[in-house]
Every structure is written in structure tokens, then in C-alpha cells.
């Protein structure tokens, strides 16, 4: 059996190439948080406590739009729901673990670490294979905290007229590039986007993110069902 440390570093090595897109994400987050008016300490706190790129950017976006706390928190929950399936897939490899390890892994479980570790977990039978997940998660953690910090420093130096807030829709667009190739996804994207845009001023409590997402999912359910018939 490989040592825990060895499996950990295998995780670090496997996840490292996936860290390249995380760098601009972290920088943009740091810059924007300062821009919106969060203190440097709060910005660092967000990256430490939440440790989730999409969650944190949704928080910024809705906070700057004046959404209520309840709407912000539930929107963050909705954004995270996209991971439900991933976790359920990993969980079969982790079912024998002690609770404390499940808690630690939950904090570190992010898309990039998941993608690589899932391949490793499937192929290996060793008892300590979950150290791969921790290694991958820890790598992402270091990159995320460092780039947040750099973003905070940069944020003070970048002039507002650069319009860096436009980087938010761009980063989320970048996460959807594969979906733009599939017709049903494109329809869902357009409908959700239109509901959010036109509902922005009418849907109460700035709940437009949740409403648009639910409409989008309903459309996806209907269309996939129609195609099968």
C-alpha cells in the first residue's frame, strides 16, 4: 500500500493542470469584492469560510444588487445543487470513512478535485485512496486563497472604468461552453437568461436567479421528455 503522503501528492500532481483557469477566477473575485465594498478581511474570510468560486461570485453579484440575505443564501444553495450528482458518485468510495474525514473532505470537495479524484478512486482499491481527494482539494485551496489575496491587492490598483465586473458573466459563460453545443441546453440557457433579465425588476426580493433556474429546469424536463416520446 502506498503511504498517505504519496497518495496526497498524487492528488496534488493530478489536479495541478486544472488550476490554470482557477487563477483568473480567484483574481477577479478578489478585485470585485473590494470594488463592491467588502473589506480585505471580509474578502479573505469569504474565500476561507465559503471556499467555492461560483458561490462566492453569486454572493457578490446579488449583494451588490441589494438582494436580501435570505435570497442570497438560497441562491448560493441553488448554485451548489449542480454538484449533487458528483458527490453522490464519490460517496460510494468514502462510505467507510470516519465522520471527521467526511467533514474535512466536504470542505475541500470542489469540481476540479472531484473530476480528477473520481478517476483515481475508481481505479484504486487501497484504504487510504481518499488522500488523493484531500491532496487535490488542498492544491485548489492554496491557489484560491493566494489568488484571492492577489486580487485584493490588485483591486486597490485597478481603475473602476476598466469595467472588470464584466468578467463575472464571462467567467460563467466560460463554464457553459460545452453546453452551447447541445440544442436543448441552448434553449434552456436562453429561456433562463430571458426570465432573469425581464424578471429582474418584477420578481420580488431579487429572487430572479432561483425563479429563472426553476423555469429553466422545467423546460429541460419538458423538452427531454418530448424527445423521448
Partner 1 sequence: MSNWILIIYCGLITFLTRFSMIALLKKEMFNDRIREILSFVPSAIFPAIIFPAIFLDSSGLVQIENNPKILASMIAIIIGVLSKNIIATIVTGLAVYWFLIFI
Interface region with partner 1, contact rule CB under 8 A, candidates 1-9, 119-127, 139-147, 215-223: 215-223
Nearer to partner 1, 3 or 222 (CB): 222
Query: 81 is written with which cell numbers?
Result: 445543487
Indicate whether 5 belongs to the interface with partner 1 (CB under 8 A). Answer: no
Indicate whether 58 belongs to the interface with partner 1 (CB under 8 A). Answer: yes
Query: 90 is written with which cell numbers?
Result: 464519490
Using CB under 8 A, pick the residue from 5, 179, 204, 205 that binds partner 1. 179
Rg (CA), the chain: 19
Indicate whether 176 belongs to the interface with partner 1 (CB under 8 A). Answer: yes
Using CB under 8 A, pick the residue from 3, 81, 119, 153 that binds partner 1. 81
Query: 141 is written with which cell numbers?
Result: 485551496
**Smallest distance, partner 1 to C-beta of residue 78, A:** 6
Using CB under 8 A, pick the residue from 127, 142, 198, 205 that binds partner 1. 198
Q: In whole angstroms, what is the distance from residue 210 CA to residue 96 CA? A: 35
The conformational region for residue 51 under phi > 0 = left, psi -120 to 50 = alpha, else beta, is left
Percent helix, strand, coil in the chain, to 5, is 80, 0, 20
One-letter-per-residue 3-state SS of 128-196: CCCHHHHHHHHHHHHHHHHHHHHHHHHHHHCCHHHCHHHHHHHHHHHHCCCHHHCHHHHHHHHHHHHHH
Using CB under 8 A, pick the residue from 3, 21, 126, 205 that binds partner 1. 21
Could you count the other beta carbons within 10 Å of the beta carbon of residue 39?
11
Give, as ranges, the residues between 99 and 128 that touch partner 1 (CB under 8 A): 99, 102-103, 105-107, 109
**Smallest distance, partner 1 to C-beta of residue 38, A:** 7
Residue with cell 445543487: 81
- Cβ proximity of 154 and 34 under 8 Å: no
- Count residues contacting partner 1 (CB under 8 A)? 91
Indicate whether 34 belongs to the interface with partner 1 (CB under 8 A). Answer: no
Using CB under 8 A, pick the residue from 1, 49, 142, 156 that binds partner 1. 49
Indicate whether 205 belongs to the interface with partner 1 (CB under 8 A). Answer: no
Nearer to partner 1, 12 or 212 (CB): 212
Amino acid at each position: 500500500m502506498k503511504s498517505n503522503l504519496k497518495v496526497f501528492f498524487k492528488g496534488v500532481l493530478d489536479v495541478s493542470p486544472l488550476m490554470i483557469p482557477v487563477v483568473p477566477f480567484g483574481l477577479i473575485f478578489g478585485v470585485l469584492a473590494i470594488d463592491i465594498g467588502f473589506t480585505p478581511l471580509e474578502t479573505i474570510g469569504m474565500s476561507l469560510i465559503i471556499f467555492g468560486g461560483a458561490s462566492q461570485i453569486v454572493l457578490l453579484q446579488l449583494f451588490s444588487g441589494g438582494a436580501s440575505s435570505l435570497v442570497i443564501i438560497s441562491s448560493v444553495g441553488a448554485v451548489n445543487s449542480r454538484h449533487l450528482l458528483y458527490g453522490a458518485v464519490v460517496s460510494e468510495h468514502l462510505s467507510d470513512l470516519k465522520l471527521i474525514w467526511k467533514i474535512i473532505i466536504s470542505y475541500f470537495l470542489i469540481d476540479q478535485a472531484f473530476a480528477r479524484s473520481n478517476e483515481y478512486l475508481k481505479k484504486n482499491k487501497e484504504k487510504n485512496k481518499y488522500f488523493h481527494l484531500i491532496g487535490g482539494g488542498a492544491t485548489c485551496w492554496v491557489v484560491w486563497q493566494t489568488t484571492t489575496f492577489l486580487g485584493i491587492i490588485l483591486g486597490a490598483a485597478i481603475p473602476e472604468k476598466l469595467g472588470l465586473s464584466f468578467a463575472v458573466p464571462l467567467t460563467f459563460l466560460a463554464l457553459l461552453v460545452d453546453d452551447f453545443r447541445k440544442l436543448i441546453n441552448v434553449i434552456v440557457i436562453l429561456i433562463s437568461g430571458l426570465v432573469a433579465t425581464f424578471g429582474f425588476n418584477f420578481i420580488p426580493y431579487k429572487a430572479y436567479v432561483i425563479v429563472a433556474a426553476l423555469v429553466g429546469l422545467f423546460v429541460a424536463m419538458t423538452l427531454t421528455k418530448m424527445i423521448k416520446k
